[in-house]
């Protein structure tokens, strides 16, 4: 029987632990605070940011939100970040991506104080992760790591394939999987749009992390029987529903669910974990800034 990996349930456990830590910090006079910054008209980005604010409220983290007109000059975003960097009540800063074309993402991410960079995207934090000395692990790969751990998926000695090489998911995911740690030690292959014979790579994979951003890209027929399949994709595709779309992953769930040993659904798999790990990083940031 294929095990359905329940991200909602594991995320609820993470949120409970975070809420306890928020109480402890608040009793000590440090109420953790997260600032979200949205510079986009994208409906999905707006939804993600409002969900993050709601999550904060649920665990007792103070949330602050800044919206910047998508057509405003980049300097307005820089000034906002400088202001948030200097505030004692803001321990974490998240600038929602993607940004408008006229704003250089790298410049923006470097501007966030590394100790408030709860996304883990600042080069200092990327470097620390690669060096095995992570301050903030990026939320999605960290959430995947937690899911694998919660379901006792053995990574040591496993052959893992990460499909996708993004800075947000693919690269940090591969780094976590290869690290010398109880949740690492996997032999990891990173596949991408220029990979030749993806099928051959997938055929040998005990663990597949699909993060290509392409709807239903990985078909069940290409998977090794019994593989653990983690679907990071959240793609809106046109559908005859009330909203006019439905969410599908990067894995074709119907064909994969009977081949895999364990699989994450979309929605309800990785998505809730990403959100929970942001709360975790925010509380960690507050603790570090107190010390």
- Residues at the interface with ligand GUN (CB under 6 A): 94-97, 119, 139-140, 168
What is the number of the residue whose Cβ is closest to ligand GUN?
97
**In this complex, which beta carbon is closest to ligand GUN, that of residue 96 or of residue 222?**
96
Nearest distance, CB of residue 96 and ligand GUN, angstroms: 5
Out of 52, 116, 171, 224, the active site residue is 52
Active site annotation includes 52: yes
**In this complex, which beta carbon is closest to ligand GUN, that of residue 39 or of residue 262?**
39
Query: How many CB atoms within 10 Å of residue 286?
Result: 27
Residue 49: how many CA atoms within 13 Å on its side-chain side? 22
Active site annotation includes 146: no
**In this complex, which beta carbon is closest to ligand GUN, that of residue 40 or of residue 189?**
40
**In this complex, which beta carbon is closest to ligand GUN, that of residue 36 or of residue 188?**
36
Q: Any known ligand binding at 166?
A: yes
Nearest distance, CB of residue 19 and ligand GUN, angstroms: 21
For residue 281, give both structure tokens: 């990083």
Active site annotation includes 119: yes
For residue 162, give both structure tokens: 């990460």
CA–CA dist 69, 60 (Å, integer): 29
Nearest distance, CB of residue 190 and ligand GUN, angstroms: 19
Q: Is the CB of residue 176 less than 8 Å from the CB of residue 142?
A: yes
- Angle, helices 139-150 vs 170-178, to 10°: value is 40
Out of 55, 117, 119, 252, the active site residue is 119
Nearest distance, CB of residue 41 and ligand GUN, angstroms: 15
Q: Is the CB of residue 48 less than 8 Å from the CB of residue 274?
A: no
Classify 79 as helix, strand or coil.
helix
Torsion over CA: 133, 138, 139, 141 (sign): negative
Q: Is the CB of residue 189 less than 8 Å from the CB of residue 225?
A: no
> What are the residue numbers of the active site?
52, 96, 119
Residues tagged in the binding site annotation for NADP(+): 164-166, 234
Residues tagged in the binding site annotation: 164-166, 234
């Amino acid at each position: 029987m294929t095990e359905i990996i329940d991200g909602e349930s594991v995320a609820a456990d993470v949120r409970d632990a975070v809420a306890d830590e928020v109480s402890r910090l608040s009793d000590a006079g440090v109420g953790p605070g997260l600032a979200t910054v949205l510079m986009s008209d994208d409906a999905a980005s707006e939804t993600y940011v409002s969900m993050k604010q709601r999550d904060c409220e649920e665990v007792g983290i103070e949330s602050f939100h800044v919206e910047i007109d998508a057509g405003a000059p980049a300097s307005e975003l820089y000034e906002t970040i400088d202001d948030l960097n200097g505030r004692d009540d803001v321990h974490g800063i998240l600038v929602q991506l993607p940004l408008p074309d006229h704003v250089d993402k790298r410049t923006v991410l470097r501007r966030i104080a590394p100790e408030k960079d709860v996304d883990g995207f600042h080069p200092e934090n990327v470097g620390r992760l690669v060096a095995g000395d992570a301050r903030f692990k990026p939320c999605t790969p960290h959430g995947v790591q937690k899911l694998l751990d919660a379901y006792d998926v053995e990574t040591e000695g496993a052959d893992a394939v990460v499909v996708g090489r993004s800075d947000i998911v693919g690269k940090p995911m591969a780094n976590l999987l290869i690290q010398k740690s109880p949740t690492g030690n996997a032999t990891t292959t990173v596949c991408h749009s220029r990979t030749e014979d993806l099928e051959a790579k997938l055929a040998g994979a005990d663990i597949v992390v699909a993060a290509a951003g392409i709807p239903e890209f990985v078909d069940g027929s290409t998977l090794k029987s019994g593989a653990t399949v983690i679907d990071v994709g959240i793609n809106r595709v046109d559908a005859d529903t009330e909203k006019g779309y439905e969410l599908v992953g990067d894995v074709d769930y119907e064909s994969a669910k009977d081949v895999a040993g364990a699989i994450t659904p979309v929605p309800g798999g990785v998505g809730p974990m990403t959100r929970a790990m942001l709360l975790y990083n925010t509380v960690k940031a507050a603790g570090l800034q107190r010390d």
